[in-house]
Every structure is written in C-alpha cells, then in structure tokens.
Structure 1
Amino acid sequence: MKKLFTLLVAGYFYSACFHGYSQIRITQDDLAPAGTFLISALDTATLDSLTPGDSGEDVTWDFSALQNTVIDTVKILHPEETPFGASFPEANKVVQEYGSLYYYLKTSSSSIDAIGIGGSLSSDYNITSSAPLSPVQTYLQFPSTYQTYYKDVSAVQFNVYLGTTIPYNGQDIKVDSVRFIRKITKEVIFDGYGTTVTPLGSFPSIREKSIETNHDSIMAQVVIPPYINYWFPFLDTQTVAVHYRYWAKEIGYSLVNLTMDTSGTIQSAGYLFTKPAPIAGPVANFTVSSNTTFVGDTLAFKDLSLGDPESWYWDFGDGATDTDQNPYHIYSDTGIFAVTLIITNQNGGDTLKKMDYITVSMPPTKAAFTYKVNGYIVEFIDQSQNIIPSLTTWWWDFGDSSGILKTTKQVLKHPFDGPGIYQVCVTVNNSLTSDTACRSVTLYNIGFEEMCHGKKIYWTISPNPSSGDFHLIEKEKATGGTKIFSLYDNCGQKIFYKSFSESDILISSASLQGGIFFYRITDRKGKLLQSGRWLKL
C-alpha cells in the first residue's frame, strides 16, 4: 500500500537573508504561500552509496551525486481548489503530489499540522477516498532550529466499500468493506546544521531527524449468509523508520529527504529538482490512440496540454521514458500501466499521472497451415502467427483413424490410408491463447493402389504414381518375420527385390524408365501376401 505520509509538503519553506548557521530558524512566516509549485525527484540508483552523514555543528552533507530516477510536480494549493477541500474546513493549505494525492494542512504561529488526506490513498487497492487525521499530525513545531525537539502521536482511519465475494471452505464469503487504520508515533530532533550540497547547489541548512513508528491494521467486514456479519482482523503490523530532512531557508523546501530502516539501510531518497516558483504555467493533459493494446503493437500518445508547454517528459510505467511532445511507444510486456506526463515552460510546470491507463496483453494466436501432397503422404507446414515456438504445442487431427497427434514440431509428414477428402485441423496452444484452423485435404485415387491379390492391405506404396523413389509403408502387421518385396516390369521380368522387416522402407527407382510395374510381397517361404501395381511417371 502506498505510504500514506511521505508529505513532501514539509519542505516548502522560503526565507529572507541568512545571518549564520546557528541563526537558522523556520517559522510560520517562512511558509511559501498557496499558488506555488516545484519539481521533486526520487533516486533509486544510488541508494547503496548514500549515507545521512553526521550530526552536530558546521557539518557538510554532500548529496551532489543524486540522480533523478523519477520526477514529480508538487503543488501548494488553496483548499477550495482541490476535490476534498469541503471535508477539511480548517485547512488553509494543500499539498498535491503524484497528480492525485492531497495533504490538507493547517498552519499557525506554533506549528504546521496535517489534518487530512485525500485522493488515491492506495494504488494496490485502487482506493480513492479522504480521511481525517485524529489526532492531527504535528509535522513541524515553530520555531524549528538546531536542537529543537518534540514528540507527536497521530492516527488516520478510512473505510472502503468493496462488495466482493471470495470462496472459502466451499462457500462464498462476501467481503463488504475494508477498514485501514494507521497510528503514527514520531520523535523529532533537529540534530545538526551546516551545508547541504545537492545537484541544485550548496545551501546553508539544518537537519531534522525523525524516528517514526507506524502501527498498521486492516479489518475486513465479512458477511456469511444468513446470520454472520463481523469485522475480521486481516493485517496487524508495526514498522519503524528513520527520516532525515535537510532544510534551507533560502530555498523554501526540504533539499533532501532520506528514509532509513532500523538496520541502517537507506530505503528511499528524494530531493528538490527545481526551486519553488509561482503557479502560472501550463496544465498537463494527454490522450492515447488506444487504452488496450497487444505486446509489440505501437501506441501513439498525443499531448493535449494547455498553456504552451516547452518541454515534455513522459513516463510510460514500464521503465521507458520519452521527451517528444507526441511520442510513440511499444510495450514489450503484459500488464496494466500508469502513464505520467510532466510539462514545463518559463512560467511553471504541471504533472498528470493517469493510473491503470494502458492494458497490455499478448496478441491472440492465429492458427494456420499449408500442405504438400506426395501420393498419400502429406507434408504439413505450420504458418501460425503470434506464437513463441519454445512455448507452443500443436495438436493435429488428420481426419482419419490415426487419432489426435500432439507435437512441438512445426513441420511433419502424415501417411493417409488412401484417396478421400480429409478434414485436417490444427489447434495451437501457447500457454496464454489458443486457436484452431481447419482445411480440407483432397487425395485422389491414383489407380494403382488396389490389390491384385490378397484380402487385406498390409502395405501401401507411396507415392503412387511417382516420378522418383517411393516408400513401402506397413499399414497392418503381417504374420511371420522377414518379407521379400519383388518388382516386375510389364513383361513379367523381375527387375528388383529386397528383403525387409522394417515398417517403412525407401525403394530407389532411379534406374527405371517410366511405365507400369507390378510388385509382389511374399514371406521367406514364397507365400504370396500381397501384390499390386505401381506407376513410374
């Protein structure tokens, strides 16, 4: 669940002259007015090398190597400009971040307090709502200076209606609502002053250290007809984190925000990407050629922003970015993606993030095949589209008595019993989608397969007729062991014979001229088992 209280708002302070490190004091007068914006950045690339630095006097904290992995526009607004302003009448400022998350603040001469939150509270659960903090969260006491110390306890709770049903122990259980509760305990000290160095420059500053304990619980309202309706404890966890924030009066916002776990590992790092400025700039908006697409297809994004933006930064939610005004993008993986557009010009900037905006799925498999006839042996060649051969299985039904054939080959040969019209179908499965294609395969009576002797056809000659070599293929097992195949010309002279025991033998006809030939198949004692004719073209 999205962390409820990142509250980048805590850093938007500007000031007058600085008269010495020890004189840095943050007061209500230092709060930037509503109607300003800034761009913050999140660095996920250099976390392993980051350290919060030392506490104490005249310290230099060097964060000049921070990188802007993700950027976001933060706005400071009047409550009446926001969707949930009416729910928090005591608020006199609102901080908007991520395009759709609002923190409602009350500032006074003694403190800045967070009194409510609204918007997209949880991307994991697709929750849009608002909730008060009770007690309110004291985010800063005034004045804040070196060695300022205080403790604070606050809490937030919101209920969300789900109305979904899940199977449990053989019956359907209705989850009517979910209740999220967070209790926040903070211990804050401003433990150092000196110089903070960031990609934006070097600034006289003080450091705030906050040890924050979050106790989270989730309750689910479970309904089991006809009588059971109760709140079921679903989750109960407690986490502890240490937050470091570096403040500079002349900037008006926290320069750097670090979050560290109890083992000393940096979990997140944010910093000021641009200085705060009045909101008088463009308004971001965009559209796309389609909200649903397949892997590998091209989407066209179109900028619809107002106010003549001069720069564009697109984040497509899959790790790819672009700076064109109207970019094209191809998704290489399936999923549901948010798309963010950040625009700027000399008058300001704006960010619009559309959650769950693009749905990408695998393109459907399209089964297809072609074939080549050689007598009664047919070669089938798969021509299916949108498949991954290593993940695909083909199921062939040849329309004869051979049954269903499962294979991973895309080319295969199949011998048919004789002439006829066969309805051949292939079903292609690639673990995500499947498709079936059918074609009629017509095999004509070649006129020489009928027997001259015998009640059963033990072997078939294919192809017949043929312009080259042919196969003697066993169709039904004959008694006995080794057999003898003999070939005669139309005058009855034996021109070829071969002993065999295999079920499929190749007989060369390279030395034979075209014409009608007769064959005999006998056992080793000379008993005639089958005879027939073969035509050499």
Structure 2
Amino acid sequence: MMKEFSFLLVLFSMVILPFIAQGQITVSPHSLPQVGDTLRQMVDNLPVGATIGNGGPDQVWDYSTLQGMYVLETIFHPRNHGRYNVKFPDANAVLFLSGGIESYFQLGESEMKEVGVSGGDPLNLDLNLIGNYMPPIEGKRAEITYGDSFRENSSLVFPISVGQLPDTLFADFPFTPDSIRLRVQISREEIVDAWGLLLIREAMFEVIRLKRIENSVSRIDVKTGFFPWVDISDLMGIDELGEQRSVSYFYYDEFSKEPILTLSLDEEENISRADYIFNEVTSADVFAGFPDESGLYVSPNPSYGFIALSFINLNPGRYKVRILNILGVTKWEANYRIDGNKREMVNISHLEAGTYLYSLVDAHNNIISTRRLVILRP
C-alpha cells in the first residue's frame, strides 16, 4: 500500500500539481485552542531521513514516511483544575505536563498567551517553583501570512523564599538578601518562511510554515531593602544551566487546532523529533489507546525496541520500572519520580526478541502492576 501511495505522490507532484492554482492559506482565529480542547499528535522520535526542505512560496514537502511511536495528548483544562491556579488570576486554562509541571494560559478568540508555570526544580534544590512570564509570551499565532516576522522578549521570573535555601548559601556574602529570584530571559524570533502542500502519511494538507528560534538565559538575582536587584549568577554557579537555543518549524493549516506538523531540531540543526496531527488518516495503521485506569502502559507493544512508558494518574512519589524475562530475571530497570501523568522514551533494543513482563514498583517495593511486553526483530 505504501509503495503504491509513494508512486501516486510522485505522479501527483510531477504531473498534477503544476496545473493546480494554489495560493497561501490563512490561519483562522477559529484554529486557536480553547478551554476544554484536546489536541492529539503522533510523535516520531526517530525521523530517519527527514529534512527541513526548502522555504519560499508554493512548496511541496513529503513527510509520508514518518512513523509515530505514540500519541501525545494536550488537554487545556479549566484554570481552577490546577493546584496553583490562584497564583495565575489572568489565566483561564492549564496544561498538566510531565514531572508535575503546570503551564497556565490565557486563551481568547484572537490570541493565545502563556502566563506562567508552576512546578519543576531547575536549580535541583528540591524546590517547587512558581513563575510568571513578564510579559506573557505568545503561543500559536492566527492570521499570519508569508513573509511576516515577529520578535518577542520575556522573562520567566520565579520568586524564591530565603527560608527555602540552606543557611550556609550566603555565608560568604557581604550582605544577607531578603529577596531572591530565578530569572529566565527568553528571546524569540519567528518568521513565516514558506507555504505549500504538506504530505503526511497518506494525507495532504495546504499549510503555511513558521520558523521559530528561541534563546534563553537563566540568571539569579538578589536584593535587600531598597537597593536594586543584583545579578549573582556567576557566584552561584548558575552557568550549569547555561544558555539554551532551540529551533522549531510549525506547519499550520487553516482550521486545525494542532499544528499539522512540528519539527524540532538538534544542536546541529538536524531533525530530532517530528510531531504530526493524529487523525483517522495519519494514524490508520496505528493503535492508540488512552487508558482511564491509573498505572503504567507501554507503547508500541509489540515493539522493535524503542518504547514509550506512559505513567497515568499516579500518586506523587518515586517509582521503579522493571522488565523481566519469563523466568523472572530482571533485564532492565530504571527509577522515576512521578506526579500524576508522565511519558518517557526508552531504548531497550539491546533485549533479544521474545516475550517479557514489565512491572511498576512503588517506593516500598510493592508491585503495582505487571503486564506483558513483546520485543520483535526486523
């Protein structure tokens, strides 16, 4: 089937496309996510052979060989579902991310802005930090056209209580600060650099492409009394977080709330991950379940060695995942800290083909669940 489809794509591109009068689409405001929406994308963490392709008008991009390994769900819950919703009065929606992180948004009819974040511990000090974007940062943009460009600067500011830090931390300082903050400076450049026809699996979409370059720098500031904030990042060794840079491409059609395709690039600007829209056409050969019961689920199953561990509705705590052969001998294990839902990608391609068991174990070494896993070889 795929060989026949590939032949048809070539025929379509060479013979039929030149006679179709195409024009760039406009991303409708109706495509912006709203409270209660669920967005689904297939995730391909091994987009072998995929390249960015050309920019400019009237392009054709063929990503028909992408193969998603699992489904990523993005659910915009009402703000009051979040544990720290009172900290974000300007938000009306919250996303629950891995590691217990909550991301708060202001979703409107004509704009989508990220307001702030709770959870996470970038300093590895066992802190639960809550921060606001100053100003709120733009999410998906509507009514963009080819050639548009945007520049945006924001700071994600996390106030830290002095009492949360070790007493010895400021022992050598000339003063004792009464206010501390972690400040993540974000600089973002976006350009609508192309439009054309996008081929995903066995589906075709008219799209417009937006390129995003984002740079972030993390700093620590302190102040005391009426004196201004002082940057002490170098003294605190904040360089461990360092500067970060990311490059992504987003392909949007007119009305879909998900990007039709999102390409994430690595440091060498090769495609490291491809997320594409999940629907009855793009996922026709993939079984995807969304379990309601709490526990650990593995997909795909059977697998050739790259699997997604999906932790669903678990109580906060430390857990262990074990993979055992049919004799009960542990062949692989790893520890995770879970708070609610989390998804981790794992490479177990070193295991021989066969039937295995995978178990979820809590911090007291109690086995919560055990299920079967089948490893295949090409």
Q: Shorter-chain-normalised TM-score: which range?
A: 0.5 to 0.7
Map of 1:67 onto structure 2: 67
Q: Which residue in 2 is equivalent to 1:104?
A: 104
Q: Does 1:247 align with 2:255?
A: no
Report what 1:151 is aligned to: 151
Question: Shift in Å at residue 200 of structure 1?
Answer: 6.7
Asked if 2 retains the 8 angstrom alpha-carbon contact of 1:219 and 1:234, the reply is: no
1:103 shift after superposition: 2.5
Q: For the residues of structure 1 that align with 2:167 and 2:202, how far apart are their CA atoms?
A: 51
Post-superposition offset of 1:60: 1.6
Q: How does 1:457-536 map to 2 (within 5 A)?
A: none
The one-letter code matched in structure 2 to 1:192 is: A
Q: Does 1:201 align with 2:190?
A: no
Distance in 1, Cα, partners of 2:133 & 2:335:
32
Shift of 1:59: 1.1
Are 1:336 and 1:359, in contact at CA under 8 Å, matched by a contact in 2?
no
Q: Which residue of 2 aligns with 1:31?
A: 32
Residues in 2 aligned to 1:359 and 1:68: alpha-carbon distance in whole angstroms: 32
| CA deviation vs aligned residue, 1:485-521 (integer Å, no higher than 9, x gap) | xxxxxxxxxxxxxxxxxxxxxxxxxxxxxxxxxxxxx
Give 1:213's match in structure 2, choosing from 212, 215, 221.
Answer: 215
Q: Which runs of 5+ in 2 are unaligned?
A: 1-20, 170-177, 224-231, 281-288, 313-320, 325-329, 345-359, 366-378
- Structure 1 counterpart of 2:31, which letter? D
2-side partners of 1:104 and 1:158: how far apart?
14
Partner Cα distance (1:271, 1:123) in 2: 33
Contact 1:28 1:107 in 2 (8 A): no
Between the aligned partners of 2:222 and 2:277, the Cα distance in structure 1 is 39
Q: What is the Cα deviation at residue 55 of structure 1?
A: 0.8
Aligned residue for 2:23, secondary structure, equals helix
Partners in 1 of 2:334 and 2:322 — Cα distance?
18
Greater relative contact order structure (CA < 8 Å, 6+ sep): 2
Partner of 1:234: 237
Determine the structure 1 residue equivalent to 2:336: 337
Task: Kindly indicate which of the two structures has a greater share of residues assigned to strand.
Answer: 1
Give the whole-Å Cα distance in 2 for the aligned partners of 1:198 and 1:315. Answer: 20
Q: Answer whether contact 2:32 2:111 (CA < 8 A) is retained.
A: no
Q: 1:535 corresponds to which residue?
A: none
Counterpart secondary structure, 1:29: helix
Aligned pairs, number: 288
* Map 1:37-56 → 2, pairs under 5 A: 37-46=38-47, 49-56=49-56
Q: 2:357 corresponds to which residue?
A: none
Distance change (3 Å), C-alpha of 1:23 and 1:46 = closer
Once residues 320 and 27 of structure 1 are traced to their aligned partners in structure 2, the CA distance between those partners, rounded to angstroms, is 36
Q: Matches of 1:200 and 1:99 in 2, distance apart?
A: 35
- Computing the radius of gyration over CA atoms, which structure comes out larger, 1 or 2? 1
SS in 2 for 1:259: strand
Identity of aligned residues (%): 20
Report the TM-score, using the length of structure 2 for normalisation. 0.61
Contact 1:188 1:209 in 2 (8 A): yes
Whole-Å separation in 2 of the counterparts to 1:272 and 1:124: 35
Q: Secondary structure of 1:22's partner?
A: coil
Q: Which has the higher helix share?
A: 2
Q: Is the 8 A contact 1:112 1:139 kept in 2?
A: yes
TM-score, reference length from structure 1: 0.44
Work out which of the residue numbers 341, 355, 374 in structure 2 matches 1:352.
341
* Cα distance, 1:178 vs structure 2: 8.3
What is the root-mean-square deviation in Å for CA atoms of aligned residues? 4.5
Q: What SS class does the counterpart of residue 32 from structure 1 fall into?
A: coil
Report 1:157-172 matches (<5 A): 157-159=157-159, 163=165
Matched residue, 1:78:
78
| 1:21/1:205 contact within 8 Å kept | no
Structure 2: how far apart are the matches of 1:130 and 1:242?
A: 26
Does structure 2 conserve the Cα–Cα contact (< 8 Å) formed by 1:338 and 1:358? no
Change (3 A) 1:256 1:321: closer
Please say if residues 70 and 308 of structure 2, whose CA atoms lie closer than 8 Å, have aligned partners that are also in contact: no
Aligned partner of 1:115 in structure 2 is 115
Distance change in 2, residues 1:193/1:233 (3 Å) = same
Contact 1:337 1:359 in 2 (8 A): no
CA–CA distance in structure 1, aligned partners of residues 120 and 202 of structure 2: 30
Matches within 5 A, 1:242-391: 242-261=247-266, 263-274=268-279, 284-287=292-295, 313=298, 329-330=323-324, 331-333=330-332, 335-337=334-336, 352-353=341-342, 358=362
Unaligned runs of 5+ in 1: 1-19, 168-175, 222-229, 276-280, 288-300, 302-311, 341-350, 362-537
**In 1: Cα distance, 2:53 partner to 2:343 partner:** 37
Q: How far apart in 2 are the matches of 1:76 and 1:60?
A: 32
Closer/same/farther in 2, CA of residues 44 and 261 from structure 1, 3 Å limit: closer
Counterpart CA distance in 1 for 2:95 and 2:186 is 20
- Cα distance in 2 for residues equivalent to 1:257 and 1:213: 18
SS of equivalent to 2:252: strand
